[in-house]
Amino acid sequence: MKNILLTGFTYYGSYYYNPSEEAIEVFNETIFMKKYRVVGVKLPVSHSRASKLLMRYLEKYKPDLVIGLGLSPRIRELVLELVATNIVHHETPDIDGETKWIEYIEGEELKVLHTRLPYKVILKECRKKRSLPITINTSIGQYLCNHIAYLIHKYSWKKHKIGGFIHIPPHTRLALRNKLTNYQPFNTITDTLKCIIETTLNTMIEEANSYLPKKK
C-alpha cells in the first residue's frame, strides 16, 4: 500500500475549531484507488514542533503524495498555494510564545519553491467541471503555513514525489462562533479536497503510464 500524507493544524488563538484538523480526521485511513492510504497528521501551531513532526512522518511513511492544509480565516474558497519561500517572519507568537524575525529555513538567501500539485488539471476538473470552490494564489505569507509548505515542496522536489499546500476557509461552525461572513459548509470543503486528491492521483497514474513501452 502506498501512502498519502495529509497534514492539518490544531486550534490556535480564537479559532477554537480548525477545519484543517477536522478534515484530517475525515480522511485519515481512507483508501483511494485501492492502493493509496491516507495518513493524517495533526500539527501544533508551533514552528519548532510542527516542522520536526512533519519531517519525522515524511521519513517514516515516504509518501508518494503530500498535501498540507491550513486555515486562512479571511478566505472564502480553498486556495492552492503555488509557491513557498524559505523565509519565516512574524511578530505574532505561536502557541509556544515564539516569534520569528527574518529567519531562513535553510541557507542565507531567499529561495522559492513551487508546488508539484497539478494545479492546472485540478482547476479544470474541480472548479470548472464540478464548480467546487478552489482557486490558486502566489502569496502564502511568512508564517507557519509557509514554513510547512516549503518543507513539503522541498521533499517533493528532492524525492521526485508530488506535494503542495492548500489553505481552507472557515467552516460554518467556526464562522458562527467567530461571527465571520466568509465560510464554506464543511462537506463542501471535504468534497473539494477529495476531488483534489483524486485528480492528483489520476494525473500521477497517467504520467507514469506515459513512460511505459507502447504495445506493438
Q: What are the residue boundaries of the structural domains of the chain, listed by start?
A: 2-209
- CA-to-CA distance for 45 and 144, rounded, in angstroms? 7
Q: Are 134 and 127 in contact (CB under 8 A)?
A: yes
| pLDDT tens across the length of the chain (216 residues) | 999 999 999 987 777 788 999 999 999 999 999 999 999 999 999 988 999 999 999 999 999 999 999 999 899 999 999 999 999 888 888 877 788 888 888 878 889 999 999 999 999 999 999 999 999 999 888 889 999 999 999 999 999 999 999 999 999 988 888 888 999 999 999 999 999 999 999 999 887 765 545 554
Whole-number pLDDT of residue 180? 85
For residues 163-182, b (16+ Cβ closer than 10 Å) or e, as one string? bbbbbbbbbbebbeeeebee
Beta strands per DSSP E along the chain: 2-9, 31-32, 36-43, 65-71, 78-81, 83-85, 87-90, 100-104, 112-114, 134-137, 162-168
Whole-number pLDDT of residue 213? 52
How many C-beta atoms surround the C-beta of residue 113 within 10 A? 19
The CATH class of the 2-209 domain is alpha beta
Whole-number pLDDT of residue 199? 97
For the annotated catalytic residues, the residue numbers are 81, 145, 167
Q: What grid cell was written down for 52?
A: 520536526
Whole-number pLDDT of residue 32? 96
Whole-number pLDDT of residue 93? 85
Whole-number pLDDT of residue 16? 73
DSSP state of 23: H
